[in-house]
Amino acid sequence: MEGQSKTGHQPTARPTPHDGAERHHRDRWGDLPLNAIHAEDIAVWVAQLQKPRDEGGATLGASQTCHAHAVLSMILG
What confidence score (pLDDT) does residue 51 get?
93
Q: Note whether residue 8 is domain-resident.
A: no
Name 45's Cβ contacts closer than 8 Å, sequence gap at least 6: 28
- Is residue 16 in a domain? no
60 within a domain of the structure (yes/no): yes
Distances from the Cα of 42 to the Cα of 3, 6, 9, 68, angstroms: 42, 41, 39, 11
How many domains does the chain fold into? 1
**Quick check: is 3 in a domain?**
no
The answer to whether residue 10 is domain-embedded is no
Residue 4 belongs to some domain of the structure: no
In a domain, 13, yes or no: no
pLDDT at 21: 61
On whether the CB atoms of residues 58 and 51 are closer than 8 A, the answer is yes
Range of the domain at 70: 21-76
31-48 pLDDT, tens digit each? 889 899 999 999 999 999
